[in-house]
Structure 1
């Protein structure tokens, strides 16, 4: 607290310089006027000293310094006067506008202008000579000019501060955008990695468990074949993902993302993986509309089918697993249904990340998704995943 009450070093320098200059002028016998009420030269040192002391308050108490300085300036007019007192007073006027509250910064220039006009008119009416206009010039230089200069400096400082705040806000927003972009990219990579690998690893887990638990050479051979195929396919998918991650600085063409044209191969592979679990996988492509789909829609639809088939491999009871596609002019419908219930044989564990990933993909495209017992199924034996994806191209996906 004590440190904050100390005057600024620049204020101390101004006060010392002003007082020293005034003493030098006094010692040289240079005064601004003569024939005043207090004609002794030493009396002019009183308002000089007071004004110099008020310079120490120009930042912390600018309005108080200006008020007391005005009294000192008036007192100086009854002495032989000092130019240093007048110059320091103009600095007090300037400081009151620059460092004072906003209301004072607005009122002081108006007040000094009115005082200048009033004094000009008063002196001209009193002496009635053109030289009285010099009073207007002198008063304006002492009162209005420093106030107007203070307004200009204050406006420039406030503009600079506003520009700095805008720059800080822009930098903050840019950092927030960067963090959001990184988070969104990490989420996208997590979805891609989960959807690509989970299907193959689930099949590997189920068939490896079967090979270990069933002591039959034929069963083990079939399971090892499925394991090998899913290992090869999983490695190929991982290589594709790694290639995508390295493409930002590469000159080659980007790797092709899976599309609905690859669903036949996906369904065939899912059928081979789940045959030992008593699942039969079929594809019913009932799209009425033809024509290309936006790439994000194709990828999202493919991943939804892939993840649904992976979940069926993990959890579905023996029975049919149906994949249905439908399309109108505005919406692509993806539906995967399977028998829900207990089934014999090994199961792969699930974390629930697949359903979260599907919902995120659909939300990014502005679609809807439902996952649960099929409507109208009183026994809750059919588990259905149904997603509706808008097919009209948007300005920016996600």
Structure 2
């Protein structure tokens, strides 16, 4: 029996350090320039050295190698670079070493952590001031000021330049993020506007057409189930009347949608003044089901109501009558409208019970639409069974400032 060796767990791959190509090129050119200057005998410290001339190449090569880490380990490059440039001052000196150090200071501010980017310009500025004061106090010659100037050029200047560039980059990034956020908010607003408009169109379409289609469904069922020429003729007349009116309202809605951006005459908006005609049509449509409709208008004369509130109240009554035609038991449907204390109250009471005649199917969208209309205006809506009645109550704010807010 042969044993199969258990598979070894996959070994973790070690992260391989790969310097940026630009950093490699910059380090190579800097070291090459320093070697050329050293070979030509161009030194930076003159006779102030304690080591052989070749010792100046050691800080140069060290800083050139550290330059490969200028993006990934800026803190290390600053520490090693500072030690290297100080060590270079005890040799014949090399300008290449100084130039690499200035780049390391610049890169430390640009690519380092925010705390380092804030501290380096301040610390190098303080070092520059301290070196200047110490040089003047020690040498007591005007030329001592040049030591401070050179220190500032080598350390403070690159750090300040890096801080300026970083601030510009962060400002540009912040502006880009703000632009993206603004675009996102605009897209969200657009989406919400589209959703709200679709919901409004759905409510309007349902409220305008459902009443006529319910009457058509009820009377067509009656015409098919009752074998009476007179009943069938009466039902067909109601069906034709509701079909023509429903088609006219559909055409008006389609015209509004097509010509929304064009100049057109404003369409008449339904108002509470049309409740008598609305109930009159409901009486005709509900006669086959044994329904009667009564309106009780308790509004004081001459008291205006904002147009959005009036339209919502009209649509709530219209939808309640449609539901009564579909589901109410034979009896009287009572509609009441009152206006008091800045509130418009709509009440519709329908008989609730078994219905012997034909019924039209319901989807529940009517109650949802009435509730949405009421809540959009900041009102209260209730609907439910109360004994032998199905009651609908809508309380709407009837003041202009409340609707506008």
Which of 185, 198, 214 is the aligned partner of 1:186? 198
Judge conservation of contact 1:365–1:397 (CA < 8 Å) in 2.
no
State how 1:53-92 maps to structure 2 within 5 Å. 53-92=65-104
**Cα displacement (A) at 1:165:** 0.9
Judge conservation of contact 2:383–2:390 (CA < 8 Å) in 1.
yes
Q: Does 1:98 align with 2:125?
A: no
Distance 2:15 2:404 in 1: 57
Structure 2, unpaired ranges of 5+ = 1-12
Partner secondary structure for residue 143 of structure 2: helix
Distance 1:396 1:83 in 2: 77
Distance 1:247 1:363 in 2: 29
Q: Does 1:381 align with 2:388?
A: yes
Distance 2:276 2:22 in 1: 82
Judge conservation of contact 1:243–1:255 (CA < 8 Å) in 2.
no
Distance 2:95 2:266 in 1: 80
Alignment match, 1:318: 330
Judge conservation of contact 2:377–2:403 (CA < 8 Å) in 1.
no
CA distance 1:313–1:303, change in 2 (3 Å): same
Judge conservation of contact 2:348–2:392 (CA < 8 Å) in 1.
yes
State how 1:1-398 maps to structure 2 within 5 Å. 5-374=17-386, 380-394=387-401
Distance 2:402 2:329 in 1: 43
Q: Once superposed, what is the RMSD of the aligned Cα atoms?
A: 1.7
- More divergent stretch after superposition (312-321 vs 387-396): 387-396
Judge conservation of contact 1:323–1:336 (CA < 8 Å) in 2.
yes
- More divergent stretch after superposition (327-336 vs 4-13): 4-13
Alignment match, 1:377: none
CA distance 1:177–1:44, change in 2 (3 Å): same
TM-score by length of 2: 0.93
CA distance 1:156–1:165, change in 2 (3 Å): same
**Cα displacement (A) at 1:395:** 7.9
Judge conservation of contact 1:97–1:147 (CA < 8 Å) in 2.
yes
CA distance 1:305–1:144, change in 2 (3 Å): same
**Cα displacement (A) at 1:38:** 4.2
**Cα displacement (A) at 1:249:** 2.6
Judge conservation of contact 1:15–1:53 (CA < 8 Å) in 2.
yes
**Cα displacement (A) at 1:257:** 2.1
Judge conservation of contact 2:346–2:393 (CA < 8 Å) in 1.
yes
CA distance 1:390–1:354, change in 2 (3 Å): same
Distance 1:62 1:395 in 2: 62
Distance 1:240 1:262 in 2: 18
Distance 1:396 1:124 in 2: 78
Deviations 1:135-155 (A, max 9, x none): 111111111111111111111
Partner secondary structure for residue 234 of structure 1: helix
Judge conservation of contact 2:128–2:152 (CA < 8 Å) in 1.
yes
Distance 2:328 2:310 in 1: 25
**Cα displacement (A) at 1:41:** 2.6
Judge conservation of contact 2:397–2:403 (CA < 8 Å) in 1.
no
Partner secondary structure for residue 130 of structure 1: coil
Partner secondary structure for residue 323 of structure 2: helix
Partner secondary structure for residue 248 of structure 1: coil
Judge conservation of contact 2:56–2:91 (CA < 8 Å) in 1.
yes
Distance 2:127 2:364 in 1: 80
Judge conservation of contact 1:296–1:397 (CA < 8 Å) in 2.
no
Distance 2:88 2:124 in 1: 19
The number of equivalent residue pairs is 393
